[in-house]
A and B are shown apart, each in its own frame.
Chain A
Amino acid sequence: MAVLANIKPKFWDHSDVELGPYKHLVNFRKLWKLTVVLTLAVALIPLLIITLVDYRVGQTAIESEILLRTTRLVSNTRRSVSFFLAEHRAALDFVVLDNTFESLILPGRVDQVLQNLKNGFGGFVDVGVINDAGIQVAYSGPYDLQGKKYQNADWFKKVAASGVYLSDVFMGYRNTPHMVIAAKHDLPEGGFYVLRATLDTARFNDLLSGLAVGGQGDAFVINQQGTLQTPSRYRGKVLDQIDLPIPSFSERSQVEISKGLDHSRLVIGYAYIPETQFVLMIVKECQRLMAPWKQSRLRLLSFLIISVFAIVFVVLGGITYLVNQIYLADQRRLFAYHKIEYANKMASIGRLSAGVAHEINNPLAIINEKAGLIKDLFMYKADYANDPKLIGLINSVISSVERCAGITRRLLNFSRNSDMKLKSVDLKQTICDVLGFMGKETEYRSIRVNVTVSDKVPTFESDLGLLQEIFLNLITNAFTAMEDGGLFEITADVEDSEWIAIRFADDGYGIPEGDLERVFEPFFSTKLGKGGTGLGLSITYGLVRELGGRIGVESTVGRGTTFTVRLPLVPPQKSMKAAKRNPSIQQTIIKPSNIGEHNS
């Protein structure tokens, strides 16, 4: 919280309530929020959209590439598998064309043929010749199958019917995967025979297992019932049922993305091998294939997060700084307006007091003369001259007139001393004159006032009007902070033979330590809501500075406050000259009160 309090800009807790007619033009907190939101929206939304679009485009491109590559792989593999099967079938065809039925059934001939096939193509396990009665009339291979009858075997019926037969893979007697390929050949004299061969599928398997299938890929062949015809890396061994749906028939190679049983995304490429019951399948895991792209996506995301943080930091910092500057400028503008208003008010008070004093002086003069005349007449007549009561009454009227005249002269003096003019000042007299304005308040509130001006304090050159204003502000301020019956002391003495220190000490409420350094700031007031504008002490501060002096404050809550004004015995000529050349707003505005000098 302490960190937050330190970085919180000045305008954040600013209240406009008590600033009178010259309020701030804008709500700074609202301005800050609006600017931050708009700037962040303008900066971040395009960035996020571009990132999202780039993400989607990248993902689509990678997926398209994966599908394309899988399609190519499926097509090529399909051709290889087809070629393998066609090649072995063509080998049997060649045997038939190269031999007559009679020569094939000669003893030792099929052994020779099998040996040639093994040498030329490989993968052949045995070869047999079956006549149209279904009897194997010649056989070469590891088993004793000579004379075996196949007339009721399904495969014999199929090959007799369709001319060609390719079996599913089966395990055989040695428990190794095999498949049977058989071809029917018609004899010229009528009838037919079948050349049957058993193929070891090891080469078939090698063909598929040798494929470089990325993304934890798997290439295998199934029959149309979903039984594995070749071993699969991840989906079981030969003759197992695969855990994927059997793809629908298509003459062309197909690739699609679907979900596996574990809901992982799979790229499935498949192709039906022509003229067989086999389906080639290549299965890849999307997650593995997309891994490189995901890495670049992570970098993109990191860049995005860093960018967002940088933008937010710069926007918050920049806008806070700018709004704070606007706020401070507006504060200065407000202070200037208030100062003008204050100066105008002072000028108006001056003119008003001068007018009132003059208007009152004339009837007072009449009362004075009439009372004087009455007294004169009484004095010249013995009857009245010896009546002390009558003479006392007249003297009372005359002394009251004199008292009123004193008040009006003080008012006139105050209104006349508002312009910047250096003159010899009697400090004690000036303090007493100002206190004279507060005479009734001190009386009504029973405030005890002590004024102690050291004899060492000489008359000195200063501006009487400014001094009166400074003293009046400080005395008024002190009285506001005091309880009735309090003690207010003004002491003045010489310091360092060049300065006069005047202390205004009250025994009022005091100022909290945290507020002490802010009491001279414009618009700072603890009386906000109770009529204070927060300008009195800041204006006083400015006036003291104009006189080349300094002002300080000490306070203890509950014990009182002491303001100390230090004024130079010799006014700073430079500042005075400068003040004359470039009179402040205050001096310029108050000038009209001088009109009285020419109007008697």
Chain B
Amino acid sequence: MKTILVDDEMEFVSALAERLALRGIDADWVIHPEEAISKVQEQCYDLAVLDVKMPKLDGIALKDRLQKVCPQMRFIFLTGHGSREAFEAGQCAAGADCYLLKPLNLGELLSKIQEMGMKKKLEDDSE
């Protein structure tokens, strides 16, 4: 699973990338949404983990932009400002595969990534 992490908090995103790397998941990380677009234009990723609230371009708008470049990409949103009900009623309508709350439970993120990896594998096999 080629993964890209996008969050304006560098301390957070870099530590997260490192923890994922320790668990065998290589993830690129950027702190500016524009950088993410550039990177995706260079190569498609399987999964993007996006912070919802970012300066200049929020996670939902960024997802739309990235999806235009790589339609098969999957997305996980991270939010520090939400409840499950609120997210289901709002942001999930924007097409996210799932969301996770900050502070992040890494176990949850790993299980989501694995789940999506399996789905992708199934899709690849079926093709």
| Closest Cβ neighbor of A360 among chain B residues | B80
Encode B68-82 as 1/0 by CB contact (under 8 A) with A. Answer: 000000000101111
Contact A380 B79, beta carbon cutoff 8 Å:
no
B82-127 interface (Cβ within 8 A of A): 82-83, 85-86, 89-91, 101-104, 106
Contact B102 A362, beta carbon cutoff 8 Å:
yes
Contact A368 B103, beta carbon cutoff 8 Å:
yes
Q: Which residues of the partner chain A approach B77 to less than 8 Å between Cβ atoms? A: 600
Contact B89 A362, beta carbon cutoff 8 Å:
no
- Contact A372-B106, Cβ < 8 Å, known A366-B11, A600-B80: yes
Q: Which residues of the partner chain A approach B12 to less than 8 Å between Cβ atoms? A: 362, 365-366, 369
Residue from A354, A367, A409, A598 having most chain B Cβ neighbours under 10 A: A598
B110 to chain A, nearest CB (A): 12
Q: Which residues of the partner chain A approach B104 to less than 8 Å between Cβ atoms? A: 365, 368-369
Contact A369 B81, beta carbon cutoff 8 Å:
no
Q: Which residues of the partner chain B approach A357 to less than 8 Å between Cβ atoms? A: 80-81
Contact A416 B83, beta carbon cutoff 8 Å:
yes
Number of A-B contacts (CB under 8 A): 90
Encode A371-401 as 1/0 by CB contact (under 8 A) with B. Answer: 0110011001000000000000000000001
Q: Which residues of the partner chain B approach A65 to less than 8 Å between Cβ atoms? A: none
Contact A366 B89, beta carbon cutoff 8 Å:
no
Q: What's the Cα separation between A354 and B80 when bound, in Å?
A: 10
Residue from B80, B91, B101, B104 having most chain A Cβ neighbours under 10 A: B80
Residue B48 CB within 8 A of the other chain: no
Contact B53 A600, beta carbon cutoff 8 Å:
yes
A370: which of B15, B79, B82 is its contact (CB, 8 Å)? B15
- Contact A600-B59, Cβ < 8 Å, known A372-B15, A412-B83: yes
Q: Which residues of the partner chain A approach B101 to less than 8 Å between Cβ atoms? A: 361, 405, 409
Residue A67 CB within 8 A of the other chain: no
A238-297 interface (Cβ within 8 A of B): none
Q: What's the Cα separation between A377 and B21 when bound, in Å?
A: 11
Q: Which residues of the partner chain B approach A141 to less than 8 Å between Cβ atoms? A: none
Contact A365 B9, beta carbon cutoff 8 Å:
yes
Contact A598 B80, beta carbon cutoff 8 Å:
no
A46 to chain B, nearest CB (A): 73
Q: What's the Cα separation between A598 and B102 when bound, in Å?
A: 16
Contact B81 A373, beta carbon cutoff 8 Å:
no
What are 13 contact pairs spanning A and B, CB under 8 A? A357-B80, A358-B80, A365-B102, A368-B103, A370-B11, A370-B15, A376-B22, A409-B101, A416-B85, A596-B82, A597-B90, A599-B53, A599-B81
Interface residues of A (CB under 8 A from B): 354, 357-358, 361-362, 364-370, 372-373, 376-377, 380, 401-402, 404-405, 409, 412-413, 416, 423, 596-600
